[in-house]
Chain A
Amino acid sequence: MIKFLLMVNKQGQTRLSKYYEQVELGKRAALEADVVRGCLARRKEECSFVEYKDYKLVYRQYAALFIVVGITENENELSIYELVHNFVEVLDKYFSRVSELDIMFNLDKVHIILDEMILNGHIVETNKNRILAPLLALDKMAES
């Protein structure tokens, strides 16, 4: 299962964090810093899977933004790697070319999108249209 998902920029600032397993608030900052350091230190040609404590990290970099997912042993690395991309494509579709700023200013919406895709550490939905449906309905309500 998925343990957490982080969006972190190159400066190491967390832009979004979602934990699917209780992690003490105090420990989160340390964990995030650790994880980011681990990923930032890696070169382009190195593989996108890193063993970290008793789980694996799967990460993908988009410009200055890293998306890091912590998973357990029994999760399929490549499918998570592509799940990250699917997530970014959904964000792209909604924000039309998503940027770090979009994520900062629309944190609630990013959370809605993420919750539509992953619930409780498991994938619920991968269909872009269905992921965005509730959000679009919401926007329509706001306009009227």
Chain B
Amino acid sequence: MPAVSKGDGMRGLAVFISDIRNCKSKEAEIKRINKELANIRSKFKGDKALDGYSKKKYVCKLLFIFLLGHDIDFGHMEAVNLLSSNKYTEKQIGYLFISVLVNSNSELIRLINNAIKNDLSSRNPTFMCLALHCIANVGSREMAEAFAGEIPRILVAGDTMDSVKQSAALCLLRLYKTSPDLVLMGEWTSRVVHLLNDQHMGVVTAAISLITCLSQKNPDEFKTCVSLAVSRLSRIVSSASTDLQDYTYYFVPAPWLSCKLLRLLQCYPPPEDGAVKGRLVECLETILNKAQEPPKSKKVQHSNAKNAILFEAISLIIHYDSEPNLLVRACNQLGQFLQHRETNLRYLALESMCTLASSEFSHEAVKTHIETVINALKTERDVSVRQRAADLLYAMCDRSNAKQIVAEMLSYLETADYSIREEMVLKVAILAEKYAVDYSWYVDTILNLIRIAGDYVSEEVWYRVIQIVINRDDVQGYAAKTVFEALQAPACHENMVKVGGYILGEFGNLIAGDPRSSPLVQFNLLHSKFHLCSVPTRALLLSAYIKFINLFPETKSTIQEVLRSDSQIRNSDVELQQRAVEYLKLSSIASTDVLATVLEEMPPFPERESSILAKLKKKKGPGAVSVNELEEGKREGGELNGGGERGGDSSAISTPSPSADLLGLRAGPPVTAAAPSAGSLLVDVFSEAGVNDDGFLSSAPPSVVSEDPAPPLPESNELLNKFVCKNNGVLFENQLLQIGIKSEYRQNLGRMYLFYGNKTSVQFVTFTTTVTCPGELQSHILHIHTWNSLEPLIEGGAQVQQVINIECLTDFSDAPLLNIKFRYGGALQNLTLKLPVTINKFFQPTEMASHDFFQRWKQLSLPQQEAQKIFKANHAMDTEVLKAKLLGLGMALLENVDPNPENFVCAGVIQTKAQQVGSLLRLEPNAQAQMYRLTVRSSKDTVSKRLCELLAEQF
């Protein structure tokens, strides 16, 4: 080794550094530095031309001062001058200064480029390397423009020195990252890929970074690198540790290169070529085997290097997710690390296992380690390791172990670090919901969550528990009981009060039978928390009180007393005051019936993606949690719970809504139950996304579309007819788009799910939909609420869902129009369809005996009440098909009513908001003539006519 004389040749610099080191205070240091800066400035400005050595010395000092954290605003020119020196040390300091201090848009770039150009053409490898390093470090646009063409040539030229090739590879990578448009690989591609075969390991190491980056951007062009990488890896893995001499690190052959090769392979799917794949699997097996062998050295460096390769190999195995054997082996090996004494290994094993848990092949194997992981969560002394353990528990959770895992996570939460509590809370809430078989367990879990970590329970979490309790009547009583007990605690979290207020307000009656939780006890308990709560919670409690008046008339006077007190009715908060005044008025003037209607139990919430999950996704970024399973689970659950419909928002004030904002209350007086005007169809569109955010009807502005909607498609009537007798199916399909429909109706309300599927591989942009009611509908229409915040993007192959709520106000004939606009590859697509909402959807079937039927038939004998049509059969006259269609129509199909068994008779009542329209139908097929006679009688002429028109197309 050379004797390193400190400060080697630059005494002034050494003295300066010593001075700085001897400074006792920051002030002294600054003083010394300012003195030096003044000195250097005067030297640079002085008349005497400085020689190379002095310039180097001063530039070096400036560099040192900069590294101490002081701004340097001069000396750049001198540094640039040093570049053209012939002395290596001077040139090197110049380049160093520029790499560290010159940012890419400096005006000196042109001068610097000039110097670089000279060095690149000097054919002196050390100078070339310096120049390439400088380009790699600065990497500005100007540099890319000047050198992007030159560098690939240097990289692949046969006579380039190895060290220069290495620098050139990474230099090119930098330019590719900053200005991809200037780096055209085209003709060089294959030669660059073949650098993987270079006999020099250093060149391979450098080239592989470049190839990895290029492969990520253009996987097809660089596909050939897979087989080359596999053979290179195989040669390294199977070599004895002495073969690679200097590239062996503590008896491990080329650990860094191996990692990089394995990383490169992760840019591609498993090799298709059987031989290549076989070789690769063999490599991976060898790596797993070697990790099990007794160590060749006791040094930690040896095992670290070996394990670095092992972890990278496991990443590749997980990436392929196709070799069950390897996956399970990987899992076992990681399992051993879970109890390793090296914290680093435990950390990495937990992290790696987290991804293994999501593979179907290794999920079970991962689960066997549950005890160890739980133990890690409890005993690890390092928060980052505990965090990994919690992540892994979340990932390995399924139906079989959910209760255990949730219990462990809850108990950990009591002592968890503040930094991770919120995330833990979300995770517990999600697991509890996802795997709840028994919903009382779910309720217990969430209430515990609020009790233990109330501050970290975000709104989404408690909204969600309320949504679930409302939608599932089997758990409501239990929820009321539990929340009542939880509220007994002397100090309970405000979130608990919110949940308590909401649930008791809705379901307090379910526990009121017990004298220990009689209505008044419930009320007093809630009210005892009132004064400690914030305004939104108080508002929610007030709504709960008015609900109490409805549930328990005996509490009316007590509650009115409270509402009447000055602290409520004169409250300085407008919202509270308004609620107090209005509720007080409502409770005193409305009749019991009106009260019961207005304060009816909340209808079930529309099912949608859990808002908590959305929040976790937001926290972790997309792709961090696997959501498919839960979403599917929810959809099924949705059908079980579903069927309920939300009233249109002007028709009922219902409950303290989770967003603590009573529906419509802000906008107007509470009793808007009587619809302000007569109309025919209220279509209320809100998309999933719009509702998600605050758990309720949020108010994204109605979308404004500039282009006029296209006229309805010519086939839209036909499409509409397809849906008269059925509720689900594909409404529309062309080469780009498929629209599916699922709908359900009850009484005068309906909910329609629209599924927009992108059939192409290209995304649709500015995707908007609007529902309008044309013509006559329009003039009668009350409101159209369009919360149309559907994601404006639909990825290729993806599907988005929209929900439309429909309320039928009076009978109607025309169908609402659905207009869809989006851009596909720049071209505007604009199409209008008829939304298959027909009057018969609101039928309520009525069973009646033969006698009744004919009596009513006679009652509807006015000529305009009857509509009749005689028409030719369009389809085969199959009795079963006819029956199915008539049932699909929504009326009751009455057997043994008509004396002629060939005939069909049906009865039903159309439910509209304004009135009920009873309808009777008789269909007489004539098989010989292939004709039908259809007669419809109903109490309203327009209905008869419309039904007749609709049905005539069906048979």
Complex Cα gap A85–B63 (Å): 26
> Considering only CB atoms and an 8 Å cut-off, how many residues of chain A contact the other chain?
62
> Chain A, 122-141, contact with B by CB distance < 8 Å: what is the 0/1 string?
11111111100110111101
A125 x B206 contact (CB < 8 A): yes
Q: Across the two chains, which residue of chain A brings its CB closest to B177?
A: A120
CB-CB nearest in chain B for A78:
B308
User: Are A82 and B304 closer than 8 Å at their CB atoms?
Assistant: yes
Shortest Cβ gap from A100 to chain B (Å):
10
Write the A12-45 contact mask toward B (1 if CB under 8 angstroms, else 0).
Answer: 0011110000100100110000000000001101
User: Which of A77, A107, A115 gathers most chain B CB within 10 Å?
Assistant: A115
Q: Which of B88, B308, B384 contacts A79 (CB 8 A)?
A: B308
What is the minimal beta-carbon distance from B169 to any residue of chain A, in angstroms? 8
- Which residues of chain B come closer than 8 Å to A119, judged between CB atoms? 133, 136, 166-167, 170-171, 206
Contact with A along B19-38 (1 / 0, CB 8 A): 00100000000000000000
* Interface flags, A107-126, vs B, CB<8A=1, else 0: 11001100100011011111
Q: Check: B256 CB closer than 8 A to any chain A CB.
A: yes
Is A105 a contact partner of B7 (Cβ separation < 8 A)?
A: yes
Q: Is the CB of B1 within 8 A of A45?
A: no
- Evaluate contact between A79 and B60: CB separation under 8 angstroms: no
Q: Which of B89-97, B191-199, B726-734 sits within the interface? A: B89-97
Of A81, A95, A123, which contacts B205 at CB under 8 A? A123
Bound state CA distance, A104 and B22, in angstroms?
Answer: 13
Given A82-B305, A105-B6, A106-B8, A124 contacting B384 (CB threshold 8 A): no
Verify if B260 is at the interface (C-beta below 8 Å from A): yes
Q: A61 in the interface, Cβ–Cβ < 8 Å?
A: no
Cβ of B247 within 8 Å of any chain A Cβ, yes or no, is: yes
In chain B, residues 83-121, which have Cβ atoms closer than 8 Å to a Cβ of chain A? 88-89, 92-93, 96, 103-104
**Residue among A25, A50, A102 having the largest count of chain B Cβ atoms under 10 Å:** A25
CB–CB B384/A46 < 8 A: yes
Q: Determine the chain A residues whose CB is within 8 A of the CB of B88 once the complex forms.
A: 138, 141
Q: Which residues in window 746-794 of B have CB below 8 A to A?
A: none
Task: Report chain A residues within 8 Å CB of B129.
Answer: 134
Contact B202 A102 (CB under 8 A): no
Q: Are B209 and A77 in contact (CB under 8 A)?
A: no
Contact A124–B206 (Cβ < 8 Å): yes
CB neighbours (8 Å) of B202 from chain A are 124-127, 130
Q: Chain A contacts of B298 at CB under 8 A?
A: none
Give the residue name and chain of the A residue nearest to B93 (CB).
A108
User: Do B166 and A125 touch (CB < 8 A)?
Assistant: yes
The interface stretch among B341-349, B399-407, B634-642, B689-697 is: B341-349
What 1/0 mask marks residues of chain B from 298 to 310 whose CB sits below 8 Å from any chain A CB? 0001001101110
B71 at the interface (CB under 8 A from A): yes
Q: A139–B2 contact, CB under 8 A? A: yes
Complex-state Cα separation, A97 to B315, whole angstroms: 37
Chain B residues, CB < 8 A from A142: 8-9, 89
Residues 181-214 of chain B, each 1 if its beta carbon lies under 8 Å from chain A, else 0: 0000000000000000000011001100100000
Residues in A with CB closer than 8 Å to B344 are 47-49, 77-78, 81
With contact pairs A49-B344, A81-B344 given, residues A137 and B69 touching in the complex (Cβ less than 8 Å): no
Contact check: which of B4, B126, B305, B348 meets A134 at CB < 8 Å?
Answer: B126
Q: Which residue of B lies closest to A28 (CB)?
A: B69
Contact of B96 among A81, A94, A111, A123 (CB under 8 A): A111
**B137 near A125: Cβ-Cβ < 8 Å:** no
Is A144 located at the chain interface by the 8 A CB criterion? no
B357 close to chain A: CB less than 8 A: no
Contact string against B for A residues 72-101, beta-carbon threshold 8 Å, 1 for contact and 0 otherwise: 001011110111011000000111100001
**B173 close to chain A: CB less than 8 A:** yes
Tell whether, in the assembled complex, residue B384 and residue A29 are in contact, meaning their CB atoms are under 8 Å apart.
no
B352 to chain A, nearest CB (A): 10
Whether the Cβ atoms of B249 and A77 lie closer than 8 Å is no
The tally of CB-CB contacts under 8 A between chains A and B is 168
The smallest beta-carbon distance between B879 and chain A, in angstroms, is 65
Q: Which of B43-67 contact A (CB under 8 A)?
A: 60, 63-64, 67
Query: A111 — which chain B residues lie within 8 A by C-beta?
Result: 96
Q: How far, in Å, is A144 (CB) from chain B's closest CB?
A: 12
Chain A nearest CB from B348 CB (Å) reads: 6
State in angstroms the CA–CA spacing of A24 and B166 once bound together. 28
Residues of A within 8 A of B347 (CB): 47, 49
> Given the known A-B contacts A50-B384, A120-B136, are A106 and B247 also in contact in the complex, defined by CB atoms under 8 Å?
no
Shortest Cβ distance from B63 into A: residue = A107
The answer, among A43, A49, A129, A141, for a CB contact under 8 Å with B381, is A43
List chain B residues, Cβ under 8 A from A105: 6-7, 14, 17
> Do B246 and A130 touch (CB < 8 A)?
yes
Q: Are B312 and A79 in contact (CB under 8 A)?
A: yes
Q: CA A82 – CA B249 in complex, angstroms?
A: 9
Expressed in whole angstroms, the Cα–Cα distance for A50 and B382 within the complex equals 10
Q: Are B1 and A47 in contact (CB-based, < 8 A)?
A: no
Residues in A44-73 with C-beta less than 8 Å from chain B: 45-51
Complex: chain B residue closest to A18, CB-CB: B100
A133 to B164 alpha-carbon distance, docked (Å) = 13
- Residues B173 and A122 in contact, CB atoms below 8 Å apart: yes
A124, chain B: closest CB distance, angstroms = 5
Q: Which of A47, A77, A130, A134 is close to B382, meaning CB atoms less than 8 Å apart?
A: A47
Residue of B nearest to A77 (CB): B348
Q: Which residue of A lies closest to B382 (CB)?
A: A46
Q: Which of A15, A81, A86, A138 contacts B249 (CB 8 A)?
A: A86
Separation of A46 and B346 alpha carbons in the complex (Å): 10
- Shortest C-beta distance, A10 to chain B (Å), equals 15
CB neighbours of B343 from chain A (8 A): 45-48
A46 to B259, CA, bound (A): 25
Beta-carbon nearest neighbor of B2 in chain A = A139
Q: By the criterion CB–CB under 8 Å, are A108 and B96 in contact? A: yes
Chain B's closest residue to A127 (CB) is: B246
Pair A82/B301 contact, Cβ less than 8 Å:
yes
Specify which chain B residues have a CB less than 8 angstroms from the CB of A101 in the assembled complex: 6
CB distance from B178 to the nearest CB of A (A): 10
Question: Can you list 27 A-B contacts with CB-CB less than 8 angstroms, sorted by A residue number?
Answer: A1-B209, A45-B381, A46-B384, A47-B344, A47-B382, A48-B343, A49-B347, A50-B384, A76-B308, A77-B311, A79-B312, A82-B308, A85-B301, A94-B1, A104-B17, A112-B92, A115-B133, A122-B206, A125-B205, A126-B202, A127-B247, A129-B246, A130-B163, A130-B246, A138-B89, A141-B88, A142-B89
| Complex A-B, nearest 4 residue pairs according to Cβ-Cβ distance, in ascending order | A78-B308, A122-B209, A46-B382, A79-B308
Other 15 A-B pairs with CB < 8 A, given A49-B384, A78-B344, A102-B4: A1-B209, A22-B103, A25-B71, A43-B381, A49-B347, A76-B311, A81-B308, A93-B1, A96-B1, A107-B67, A112-B92, A122-B209, A130-B202, A134-B163, A138-B88
